[in-house]
């Protein structure tokens, strides 16, 4: 159920990490609050994009294998996980 | 319009940075996609909390000063910024 | 690609409709803005729950059929739709 | 703390009500799930816009009066309400 690390996902997570450090500097330097909040919103958007990429990988690997496989329990599990992810999304 | 860095905000941003690095490791080690997505949702929630703290500081400093001050243009500006932040929130 | 109407989905949509009318009355009667906004947030949450139910039906019918079927184009289409729905979610 | 009903807010809430009824019909007629979910996302967006308008009124009436008034308790209350609304937003 694991697969090779997607380099685009890793690259974007590194970019998010740099963005978070940039916001720390803004806070340390007393940047205007609204600018800080806007940068945090931009980071949240970047993270949503990463989730979308991870989910895309997931649908094309684990979910496809499970759904085309013979085990109804496994199919039920992957579908239940998708619903949970959808319900948790946008609650950030 | 700037003010001293809130140490709680900085502490939380450092924690978010560590969390993002942790997710990078998960991806590198081929963690299950759903676990990765759930960690990203947790980071988005932590960032939302940080925005809330920054906004709280903002309301108690810049917004309070502007609203109690004599300049209508400044009052209008800070209110407009609040609306924009509200509209952008939850779009991550 | 269609299926019988889910009575729980319909019942919840009727409840949302009544809730929206209730908020109209609140506005007409000059209710406190924050109370109005909180009711709107409650309606958005109820709608998210409805989306979750519809998506659950979709995964157990159309998506399951497509994924277990022979046509790769159809499988690709249903997966692409799921990603789009995920990316659009939480942008309300 | 109340004020005249904003006709634009009411008009938009009536439009949301009609949109919700339209989605009920879609469900009754067995529309494709993804189309239903997309319409629900559109309704959530319309509701977010309504919240933004109500909040705009609120900032220009109750919040402005409270912030420019003499009572620190009242100022604290309106700021606390704004933070709560921000934190609840995007959790739909």
Mind listing the pLDDT tens digit for each residue in A42-69?
999 999 999 999 999 999 999 999 999 9
CA distances from B51 to A40, A44, A87, C92, D42 (A): 7, 11, 22, 18, 26
- Report CB contact under 8 Å: B20, A16: yes
Question: Which residue numbers in chain D have pLDDT < 70?
Answer: 1-4, 90-92
Q: Which chains contact C through at least 3 pairs of Cβ atoms less than 8 Å apart? A: A, B, D
User: Which pLDDT does position B12 carry in this prediction?
Assistant: 98
- Report CB contact under 8 Å: C4, D90: no
Chain A interface includes C77 (CB < 8 A): no
Mind listing the pLDDT tens digit for each residue in D19-44?
999 999 999 999 999 999 999 999 99
Chain D interface includes B15 (CB < 8 A): no
Distance in angstroms (rounded) separating the CA atoms of residues A57 and A6? 8
ipTM value for the complex: 0.91
Q: How confident is the model at residue C90 (pLDDT cuts 50, 70, 90)?
A: low
Distance in angstroms (rounded) separating the CA atoms of residues B65 and B73? 13
Interface test with C, best of B34, B47, B86, B90 (most C CBs within 10 A): B90
* Spatial CA neighbour of B91 closest among C51, C71, C58, C88: C88
Q: Which chains contact D through at least 3 pairs of Cβ atoms less than 8 Å apart? A: A, B, C
- Report CB contact under 8 Å: D86, B60: no
pTM score, two decimals?
A: 0.90
């Amino acid at each position: 159920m694991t697969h090779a690390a997607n380099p685009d996902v890793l690259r974007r997570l590194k970019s998010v990490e740099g963005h978070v450090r940039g916001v720390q500097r803004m806070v340390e330097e007393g940047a205007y609050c609204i600018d800080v909040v806007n940068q945090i919103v931009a980071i949240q958007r970047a993270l949503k994009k990463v989730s979308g990429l991870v989910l895309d990988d997931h649908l094309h690997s684990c979910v496809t294998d499970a759904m085309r496989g013979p085990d109804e329990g496994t199919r039920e599990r992957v579908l239940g996980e998708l619903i949970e992810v959808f319900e948790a999304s946008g609650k950030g």
